């Protein structure tokens, strides 16, 4: 309750202006905006993953080894992660929806520059420029939902936006390979440029209705104050820690799943990669059935059930002597992750309402940093211990993450602080 009293005092003093979501849920304009934001997150994730399948063709075209061509992915990822810290205060200061609209247009320019690149250095530079804009879209879309949608409907609404994200991951990898094989890699970027431009125009057409009456919700505090407000809250620090640990364990496990199936069971890389890709389909199934699942289970049971599915499924993948069990297991990892992460994501949008954009981008940065740590750790130890042993250790760590979050969530809900 100390946090509640502190926030109310800050609001009364005029330092912070709380958002005022409608108690009846999103209106017609907001529903259209949510659909458009989902299209924006789809585009953002698609352009991020579309180079995965292009690497062999880019290596041939530019006559460069894969280690250098891989910079179109690795440099993008580093830039994307670092920019998360900047866009939170920017969105809080000037409006999250408006920043998403402008950065979507920026992605269109970056994708067009990628298509026009004449050498590998130019392509890497264009990818960096794309990442400078793309980094804003997903976290600020989630933060905007947090500002506009009452908490009772927020988790379901976040799942709708998350559906665009999951579809973008899957479609980006698929479209990148398909268009490259049939038309050439440049046309894949041309298509993304047209898509981003179209979404930016649609966002612009809705901006006046979406932002009408919301200017008072923009933060008056400085950038430094907004960040300090987040870190000052004990609950926010816990959520950020859980995001870091979730990123390290889950994505560390995902990174070596295909390699484990290939080396342990002798599956071809095509079959191993296709099996591990079922993670995305499992996540999409949850996003499509989020409403009844959330209503039936509630937050604490969502975290427990999703976490249990993650732990058990990764355990089956790591230690089952029958590779066929990896097919349903990989699917269930995606479903379980979506349940667990959706619950954590909902809490991230409410951990610091007075600086929501900053809070959610810090959350995204923690998740990204965790991924980097987890991937680095598992790839260093897999040659020494074996993939099954490394997956077992990471899975055991994941048990602790799940139990810690479920316990903290139960304590938090007992005070009902997030529903005010």
Residue that is written with structure tokens 């496990």 in the block:
253
> What domain range includes position 350?
227-419
Tell me how far apart the alpha carbons of residues 95 and 84 are, in angstroms, rounded to a whole number: 16
Choosing from 218, 237, 260, the residue where a domain stops is 218
Element (H, E) at 248: helix 234-265
Q: Does 286 share its domain with 177?
A: no
Residues 6+ apart with CB under 8 A from 260: 317, 318, 387, 388, 391
What's the CATH number where 50 sits? Answer: 1.20.1250.20
Q: What are phi and psi of 78, to 5 degrees?
A: -65, -45
Q: Does 167 share its domain with 200?
A: yes
Per-residue pLDDT tens, the chain, 420 aa: give them: 444 344 444 433 434 444 444 445 566 777 788 888 889 999 998 888 787 667 777 888 888 886 677 788 778 877 887 887 788 778 777 888 889 999 999 999 999 999 999 999 999 999 999 999 998 898 888 888 877 777 777 777 777 777 777 778 777 767 777 788 788 889 999 999 999 999 999 999 887 766 654 544 455 555 567 677 778 888 889 999 999 999 889 888 887 787 788 778 887 756 776 777 788 788 888 887 888 888 888 888 999 999 999 999 999 999 999 989 999 999 999 899 989 998 998 888 788 777 777 787 788 878 878 877 887 787 778 778 888 898 999 999 999 999 999 999 888 877 655 554
Beta carbons of 327 and 350 less than 8 angstroms apart = no
Q: Tell whether 18 is covered by a domain.
A: no
Q: Tell whether 19 is covered by a domain.
A: no
Q: Does 191 share its domain with 277?
A: no
Choosing from 218, 242, 261, the residue where a domain stops is 218
Q: Tell whether 23 is covered by a domain.
A: no
Q: Does 60 share its domain with 107?
A: yes
Structure pTM? 0.72
Instruction: Spell out the alpha helix ranges (H) of 14-135.
Output: 28-49, 55-62, 66-69, 71-94, 96-115, 120-134
How many domains does one find in the chain? 2
Tell me how far apart the alpha carbons of residues 247 and 241 are, in angstroms, rounded to a whole number: 10
């Amino acid at each position: 309750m100390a946090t509640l009293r502190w926030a109310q005092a800050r609001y009364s003093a005029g330092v912070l202006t709380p958002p005022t979501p409608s108690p009846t849920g999103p209106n017609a304009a907001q529903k259209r905006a949510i659909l458009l934001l989902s299209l924006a997150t789809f585009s953002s994730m698609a352009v991020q993953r579309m180079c995965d399948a292009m690497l062999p063709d880019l290596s041939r075209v530019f006559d460069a080894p894969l280690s250098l061509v891989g910079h179109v992915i690795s440099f993008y990822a580093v830039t994307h992660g670092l920019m998360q810290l900047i866009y939170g205060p920017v969105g809080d200061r000037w409006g999250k929806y408006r920043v998403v609209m402008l950065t979507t247009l920026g992605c269109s320019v970056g994708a067009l520059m990628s298509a026009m690149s004449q050498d590998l250095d130019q392509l890497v530079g264009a990818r960096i420029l794309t990442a400078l804009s793309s980094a804003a879209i997903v976290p600020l879309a989630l933060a905007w939902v947090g500002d506009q949608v009452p908490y009772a409907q927020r988790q379901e609404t976040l799942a709708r936006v998350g559906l665009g994200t999951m579809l973008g991951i899957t479609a980006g990898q698929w479209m990148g390979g398909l268009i490259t094989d049939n038309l050439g890699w440049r046309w894949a970027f041309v298509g993304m440029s047209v898509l981003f431009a179209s979404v930016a125009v649609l966002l612009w057409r809705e901006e006046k209705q979406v932002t009408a009456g919301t200017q008072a919700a923009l933060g008056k505090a400085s950038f430094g104050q907004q960040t300090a407000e987040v870190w000052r809250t004990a609950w926010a620090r816990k959520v950020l820690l859980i995001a870091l640990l979730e990123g390290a364990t889950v994505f560390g496990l995902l990174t070596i799943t295909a390699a484990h199936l290939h080396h342990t069971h002798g599956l071809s890389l095509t079959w191993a990669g296709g099996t591990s890709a079922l993670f995305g389909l499992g996540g999409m199934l949850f996003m499509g059935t989020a409403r009844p699942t959330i209503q039936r289970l509630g937050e604490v049971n969502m975290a427990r059930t999703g976490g249990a599915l993650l732990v058990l499924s990764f355990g089956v993948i790591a230690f089952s002597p029958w590779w066929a069990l990896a097919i349903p297991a990989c699917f269930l990892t995606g479903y379980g992750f979506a349940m667990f992460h959706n619950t954590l994501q909902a809490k991230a949008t409410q951990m610091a309402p007075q600086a929501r954009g900053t809070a959610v981008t810090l959350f995204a940065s923690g998740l990204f940093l965790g991924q980097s740590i987890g991937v680095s750790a598992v790839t260093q130890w897999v040659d020494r211990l074996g993939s099954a042993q490394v997956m077992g250790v990471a899975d055991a760590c994941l048990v602790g993450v799940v139990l810690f979050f479920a316990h903290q969530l139960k304590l938090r809900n007992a005070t009902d602080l997030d529903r005010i």
